[in-house]
Amino acid sequence: MANASTKKQAQANLTAIKNLHTASAIINAMYIISYLLFRRPRSISSYLILSLPAWIIEYQLDKIGRPKYSQQNGSLIYPGEDLSQAGLTEWLWDVVYVTWGCDMLGFLIGRSWVWLFYLVIPVYGTYMAYTSFIGPMLKQRAAVAAAENATQPEPVNKKEKKQKTKHVH
């Protein structure tokens, strides 16, 4: 059973990597053709600079997700990391998708300002960091501080102590 699941993961990774490279090649080719034929957008430097992270991520996803096979008999040695897992891998895919979206808007609209949509990545990263780590940590600190304040008795001076004992008797 474990062998079947690793083979299934290896096949899913190969499909994801193939789709990644195919879509990347098509979208990047369309952008370059649009630039060369129509000079849309006018500057290619923003495309080159801002597409670089997606190209690096594409290489990294290929590197960590590609299955390893034996050279002797072709049996599966390592299925690769699961490219559909949540967390950092999911965020890497999101960066690639946002980059492709900016690429497509760039060659469809023909303006370089579409790369401002790329700002959604750090905004989303900040939001996730706050909701996942910073916010809960601050809430935990506040709860600990409140618990410490609740367990410490209130300081009472001598006059208040005498008045309390007079009223009780």
Between CA 168 and CA 65 the distance in angstroms is 76
Q: What CA–CA distances, in Å, run from 115 to 24, 103, 119, 124, 161?
A: 17, 8, 8, 16, 69
Note the pLDDT of residue 1.
47
Q: What is the CA radius of gyration of the chain?
A: 28
- Confidence at 131, pLDDT banded by 50, 70, 90: confident
Domain assignment present for residue 79? The answer is yes
Q: Which residue has the higher pLDDT, 32 or 132?
A: 32
Note the pLDDT of residue 82.
94
The reply to whether the predicted model has a pTM over 0.85 is no
> Which residues constitute the domain of residue 54?
2-115
Domain assignment present for residue 142? The answer is no
Domain assignment present for residue 74? The answer is yes
Domain assignment present for residue 130? The answer is no
Between CA 49 and CA 65 the distance in angstroms is 25
Say how many domains are in the chain: 1
Domain assignment present for residue 110? The answer is yes
Domain assignment present for residue 59? The answer is yes
Domain assignment present for residue 141? The answer is no
Domain assignment present for residue 128? The answer is no
* Upper half-sphere CA count for residue 118 (Cβ side, 13 Å): 21
Residue 105 neighbours by CB under 8 Å, 6+ apart: 114, 117
